[in-house]
Structures are given as structure tokens and as C-alpha cells.
Amino acid sequence: MGVITDTSWMIGGPQGSGVDSSATLFARSMAVAGYWVYGKREYHSNIKGAHSYFHLRVKTTPVRSHIDPIHLLSTFEDSTAEIHAHEIVAGGALIYDPSVTKPETLEMDASVKLFPIEFETIIRDLAEELGKPAAKLAIVKNTIAVAASLALYGVGLDVLEEALKGLFRGKKAGLVGVNLAAGKKAYQVIQSVEGWDTFAYRLAPQTNKPEPNSRLLMNGAAACGIGKLKAGCRFQTYYSITPAVDECIWLEQQTEYGIVVYQAEDEIASINMANGAAYTGARTSTATSGPGFCLKAEGIGWAGMNEVPTVITNYQRGGPSTGLPTRNEQGDLLFALNIGHGDFPRIVVASGDMEECFEDGFNAFNFAERYQTPTILLIDKALANSTQTIPKFAEKHLRIDRGQIVGAPESFNPEDPATGLPKFNRFKVTESGISPRSLPGTPGRIHFLTGDEHTEYGVITEKPEIRIAMMDKRDRKLHTAAREIPQDLQFKLYGPEQADITIVGWGSSKGIIIDALDELKAQGVTANYLHIRLMSPFPAEKVAEILTNAKKTMIIESNFSNQLAKVIKMETGITIPHHVAKYTGRPISQCEAVSAVQEVLTKNSRKVMLSCGH
């Protein structure tokens, strides 16, 4: 009996048919069983009908990436098997509905085990038992497909029950029963198929089971949202756009925290409302994706000029233009670094995994307020929409840093309004570049803001000497930030210090490459991974040092032009000789990362283009 510790499962179907909830149920079940899960979601820019799928990987140890082969493909309609059957490995399995799928017509390895399930029959039986119309029960198809998979993997019904309870809470608790009943029937069907218990990819039982409720099953969008909540974000503006809208709607639901989520008339209103609110003193952010990010260019420049601490989360998706609106890309790096006309400081952070999404969501406000400058978070769609089991976030080490905010001066006498009127040098020229800030409403600290060049008091000026002082002052903040931001928030080298090859990357590739390091090691290659997180101010010196000392360097990015490689070249002059790029909108898999490294090592390829995945 084959048991393994790492498996790859997929479920698919037309959009709107419940693929997402099936995947969530499956992931929850596996998590309840103590496994670690990583799931990636692929869907079209369509509401109903187009093919979508969820690809889940389950391991006995933490997992951060998907692999391309499928061990078990679970389907409940005709299209998924047609599209994905050829990806099932030898000895893998297919769960299908024999009334719509004819295995003999599929392009598929001959050794794939077949598990036909007559969905209609199960539903009909169930309907009879419960005395409900069968049409009302159609939705349990999803549960059946999941339960059948669990049976095959050797996961018990108790786990399914627990997972269903976690999923259907409060008003929805009534749904547990019927779904469980359907699940039971699916178990029976599977267990009636000959050889079901010798499935080659049956999972090894989890021996090192984490404490129940000690982990989170979460995606990057929610992780970032939670980070923002923890930071005290009280105003988030947005205009609906995939995939940024997920974070916004999630935050809107958190009514307990008093956060106002404002659906503005467009992204221009969003950024400028955010600027207005951030200036006023609320911790404020706005979230968007490429097309909306374009529209924020002018507002971001204004925040830079006026030293207003607005946080902007840009969820990157396939560009250019409307592009591949529901697909992955790391295509906005150069744009984010240069958005807005003229020179002004900005902080740009790119998160690499759930923990970074949470921490960066939190830190962004500290950076923005401490350095009084717009702070852009880059999160790619693969991270935003992927689900992962992770330990609960560490929170103890977190501190709020509001930077220099001053209250009323001592000279203020509430009895004498005139003492509340004096002007305040909000833009004082200081060595750090950071000036004390007062919030509107504070007596004795009246000042002006203007996108025009201005004096210390915020008064418009065109005087060359003030211009120079102010440009220099604003720029110094970035140098201060570069000095102060802890190095491990800037970049990190994963794997051995010395390696045959150093892989450079950013964003969602982090988990994939880290997982690939293990696989490479197993294949006899020592590789390490330089993960870059702080894009502005860019840690040029340290990065240069690491790259200069590396034996061989390569970069992996999910964009066409290898934008990070360009940034590194611009900042350090160093040319990374081997570029791996993926721009199909599908995230890189662990397998792809491994073979790209091997190709660079063995063939010395200068350019490797990846294209796995539908």
C-alpha cells in the first residue's frame, strides 16, 4: 500500500458551480486532519460558465507552492476531466461522473485509477431520505467530490464532519447534516471500488499533528487585511477591481473594528480621499490593481510632495491594460517605483508570503507615518488568492509607530483664541528629513499643504533656495528609512550561505523557490535564495555584496521583462546573467522552478521561459 507525504489534488468546473467552496472544504478537511495545505485558484474573467479550477497540495510538513502533476483529479461535470486528465500521474486517480465523462475518450495515462460516482443517484437517494426535492440538493455535488477524495486519501469521515462544522456556522449550521449525509454516501461508493485502499497516493497519517485552531487557513488578501486591522487602519477606500476587491470586502465585513470601507466612484477619488483622511490623522489605505493603480499616479505624487502617510496596496494581475485580469503577474514593479511625474520619495514593499502580507500590511502604516511618505505594497495575485495553512501570526513583537506627531504648543491658552492661531513649520528642514507633523484640529499648529513647492509653513514658493532645501529634505527621508528599516524586512537570504547558485526573486515566488531549494538539494544541487522585499529604498549595497560573492546568479520572476533584474542593474550595475520569466498569468510551480535552475546549471541558458498550467 503506497503512502506518501506530499500530494497534489485538483477540482475543477465551470465558474459559479461551487469549485471554490469544494476546494475550501477539502483544504479545511485536510487541515483538520493535521496536514499542511497550499491551494492555488485559477479562474477566468467571467462570472458563470468558464472553466476554473483549484489546485491543492497537501503535505505532512508546511508547504508553500504547488507542483504540476496531479495525483487525484476530482470532477463532478464533463469539462474538467477533458482539460486536466492528461496531467494525472501514472498510478493517480480520477473521480468522475460516468453519466457525463467517458474515461476511454480522455487523453490520460493508462494506469490512472478510475472512480466513477453516480452523482445523480446519490442526490436522488438523499432527496428521498430527507424528503426534499432533488433540485435543491444539487449543490452537494461538491461535497460528494470532496468526500470521495478524502476517502481515497484515507482521511476519516469524522474529519469531514469537523470541517463542515467549521465552514457552516451560525445561520448556516443547518447545512452540515445534509452535506455530511452526502459525504457518507460518497465514502461508501469509493470504498466499494476494488483496490480503493491501495491507491498509490494514499496519504501517510499525520503524526506530528498541530494543535487544533493553532493555525489559519488563509489567503494573502485576508492576511494583508488583518495586518491593516492590527495596525489600526480606520479608513480604506477602494473602487472594485479584481483581485484587490477581496481585501476590501473582507475589511468591510469587519464592522467590529469601526473601520470605514468606502467604495468610491473611481480610483482617483479613492487615492485622494485616502490622502485627505491620512492627512487628517486616521491610518488610511487604499487597495487596487493595475488599471486602478494607473489612475492613482497623480494622487501618489501629491502625497509624496505633501509628506502624507497614505498606504496603497497594489494587487498585481496580468497586464498590460485589462490584460489577464484574473491571472497572476509581477508586472508592476517598475511602474510602482516610478509612478508619478518628478522625483519624490516613496516606500515600496513587496510581500512574499502570508506572513509577509500580514506584517507588511501592519508595517506599511509605520513606514508611512514615520517617514511621512506614501507607502506602496505590492502583492501579486498568486499570493492574494492562494490559500495556505499557516501558524497564527506572531503579534507580540508588533509596535505602533506614528512618527512625529505634535499636539498643542505650551503657548496655547484655551481662553485666548489668538494663541491657537500661529503658524507652524510643518515642513521644517531637518537632518533626517522628517519634520514634526500636526493634525488638523490642533491649536497653535496651523499650516498649509500644497502640491506646489512650498516653504516650511507649506506656503507656495518658487524660490530656488527653498526648492533645493525641500527637494533635499524629502529625499533624505529615504536615506533615513534605508538606515532604520530592519535588514530582515529589506531582504533575506534563504538556504546555505555558500551555494552553487544563488536564485534571486520577489513576491509570491518566495514560497515556491524555498520549496524548490529542498527538491534541488535532493537532486544534489546546493542553491540559496535571495528574497527582496524592500524595493524602495532599495538595499543596493547589501544586494550587490551578496550577488558579487555568489558563485552563479539567476533570477526568477513572473513578468515578461524581468523587471527586478532591471532594478538590480540600475541600482547596483550588476547584470544577473540568467533570467527565468513566466508571463502566462499562471503562477510558477515548484517543478518549474526546479527545472529552470537545472536548465541554467546544465545548459547555461540566458533566458528560460516557463509556461506550465492552464
Partner 1 sequence: MATKQQQLPTLATKVKPFQLKSEKPIDWCPGCGDFGIVNAVQQAVSELGLVPWKVNFFTGIGCSGKSSQYLQAYGVHTLHGRVLPYALGSKIVNPDNVVLAAGGDGDGYGIGGGHFLHAGRRNVDITYIVFNNEVYGLTKGQASPTLEVGMQPKSLALPHISQSINPLALAIAAGYTFVARSYSFDAKHLKQTIMAAIEHRGISLVDVHQPCPTYNDLHPKEYYSEKVIENGTEMPRVYYLDDTDYNGVVADSTDAEAVNAKKIEAIERAYKREERIALGVYWKIDMPTYEDRLQSVIPALQGTSPITIPFHDEDMIPTTDLSYAYEEFLV
Binding site for ligand TPP (CB under 6 A): 239-241, 267, 291-292, 295, 322
Nearer to partner 1, 117 or 277 (CB): 277
504 contacts 532 by C-beta, under 8 angstroms: yes
Q: Is 560 in the site for its own copies (CB under 8 A)?
A: yes
263, burial (CB in 10 Å: exposed 0-12, middle 13-18, buried 19+): middle
Q: Closest separation between CB of residue 517 and partner 1, Å?
A: 26
Q: Considering CB distances under 5 to 8 angstroms, the limit depending on partner class, which of ligand SF4, its own copies, partner 1, none binds residue 168?
A: none
* Alpha carbons 484 and 557: distance in angstroms, whole number: 28
557 contacts 330 by C-beta, under 8 angstroms: yes
Q: What is the DSSP letter of 345?
A: -
- What 3-state class would DSSP assign to 284? strand
445 contacts 409 by C-beta, under 8 angstroms: yes
Neighbouring-strand partners of residue 261: 236
* Alpha carbons 365 and 369: distance in angstroms, whole number: 6
Q: Given the rule CB under 8 A, which of 30-38, 103-111, 249-257, 311-319 is the region that contacts its own copies?
A: 311-319
Q: Is 47 in the site for ligand SF4 (CB under 6 A)?
A: yes
Ramachandran sector of residue 142 (left: φ over 0; alpha: ψ -120 to 50; beta: rest): alpha
Nearer to partner 1, 250 or 560 (CB): 250
Q: Are strands 260-263 and 235-238 parallel, antiparallel or unpaired?
A: parallel
Q: Closest separation between CB of residue 614 and ligand TPP, Å?
A: 23
Which residue is at the shortest CB distance from ligand SF4? Answer: 47
198, burial (CB in 10 Å: exposed 0-12, middle 13-18, buried 19+): exposed
Q: Is 340 in the site for its own copies (CB under 8 A)?
A: yes
From 319, 403, 444, 537, residue interacting with its own copies (rule: CB under 8 A): 319
Nearer to partner 1, 234 or 476 (CB): 234
Q: Is 242 in the site for ligand SF4 (CB under 6 A)?
A: no
Q: Given the rule CB under 8 A, which of 246-254, 427-435, 533-541, 561-569 is the region that contacts its own copies?
A: 561-569
Question: 90-99 — which CB contacts under 8 Å span 24+ positions?
Answer: 91/2, 91/200, 91/201, 92/200, 92/201, 93/152, 93/199, 93/201, 95/145, 95/148, 95/149, 95/152, 95/190
Q: Is 324 in the site for its own copies (CB under 8 A)?
A: yes
Stretch (H or E) spanning 101: none
The interface mask with its own copies, positions 572-591, x = CB under 8 A, is: -xxx-------xxxx-----
Q: Closest separation between CB of residue 179 and ligand SF4, Å?
A: 26
Q: Closest separation between CB of residue 187 and partner 1, Å?
A: 21
Q: Is 318 in the site for its own copies (CB under 8 A)?
A: yes
Nearer to ligand TPP, 187 or 293 (CB): 293
Q: Is 473 in the site for its own copies (CB under 8 A)?
A: no
Q: Closest separation between CB of residue 239 and ligand TPP, Å?
A: 5
Q: Considering CB distances under 5 to 8 angstroms, the limit depending on partner class, which of ligand SF4, its own copies, ligand TPP, none binds residue 441?
A: none
- What 3-state class would DSSP assign to 312? strand
Q: Considering CB distances under 5 to 8 angstroms, the limit depending on partner class, which of partner 1, ligand TPP, its own copies, none binds residue 486?
A: none
Q: Considering CB distances under 5 to 8 angstroms, the limit depending on partner class, which of partner 1, ligand SF4, ligand TPP, none binds residue 545?
A: none
Q: Is 269 in the site for its own copies (CB under 8 A)?
A: no
Q: Are strands 387-391 and 215-219 parallel, antiparallel or unpaired?
A: antiparallel
Q: Is 477 in the site for its own copies (CB under 8 A)?
A: no
Q: Closest separation between CB of residue 323 and partner 1, Å?
A: 11
Going by C-alpha positions, the residue among 522, 512, 518 that lies closest to residue 590 is: 512
Residues 282-311 that bind ligand SF4 (CB under 6 A): none
Neighbouring-strand partners of residue 202: 3
The interface mask with its own copies, positions 229-268, x = CB under 8 A, is: ---------------------------------------x
Nearer to ligand SF4, 45 or 254 (CB): 45
Q: Closest separation between CB of residue 300 and ligand TPP, Å?
A: 13
Backbone angles phi, psi at 183, to 5 degrees: -60, -45
Q: Given the rule CB under 8 A, which of 241-249, 312-320, 353-361, 434-442 is the region that contacts its own copies?
A: 312-320
**DSSP class per residue in 96-153:** E-TTT--GGGS---TT-EEEE--HHHHHHHHHHHHT--GGGGGGGHHHHHHHHHHHHH
Q: Closest separation between CB of residue 432 and its own copies, Å?
A: 18
Q: Closest separation between CB of residue 532 and its own copies, Å?
A: 16
* Alpha carbons 492 and 55: distance in angstroms, whole number: 28
Going by C-alpha positions, the residue among 58, 51, 73, 57 that lies closest to residue 148 is: 73
* Alpha carbons 309 and 278: distance in angstroms, whole number: 6
Nearer to ligand TPP, 190 or 241 (CB): 241
138 contacts 120 by C-beta, under 8 angstroms: no
Q: Is 452 in the site for its own copies (CB under 8 A)?
A: yes
* Alpha carbons 543 and 106: distance in angstroms, whole number: 49
Going by C-alpha positions, the residue among 88, 72, 101 that lies closest to residue 7 is: 72
Q: Closest separation between CB of residue 583 and partner 1, Å?
A: 21
Q: Is 468 in the site for its own copies (CB under 8 A)?
A: yes
Q: Considering CB distances under 5 to 8 angstroms, the limit depending on partner class, which of partner 1, its own copies, ligand SF4, none binds residue 92?
A: none
How many CB atoms lie under 10 A from the CB of residue 440?
11
Q: Is 418 in the site for ligand SF4 (CB under 6 A)?
A: no
Q: What is the DSSP letter of 405?
A: B
- What 3-state class would DSSP assign to 462? coil
Those residues whose C-beta lies under 8 Å from the C-beta of residue 75, and which sit 6 or more positions away, are 11, 12, 13, 81, 94, 95, 96, 97, 101, 145
Nearer to partner 1, 322 or 498 (CB): 322
Q: Closest separation between CB of residue 49 and ligand SF4, Å?
A: 9
Apex 201 CA angle, 196 and 205, nearest 5: 95
By the criterion CB under 6 A, which residues form the site for ligand SF4? 47-48
Query: Interface residues with its own copies (CB under 8 A)?
Result: 44-45, 268, 290-291, 293-295, 297-298, 301-302, 304-306, 316, 318-327, 329, 331-332, 334-335, 337-344, 450-453, 460, 462, 464-465, 467-468, 471, 475, 559-561, 563, 566-567, 569-570, 573-575, 583-586, 609, 611, 613-614
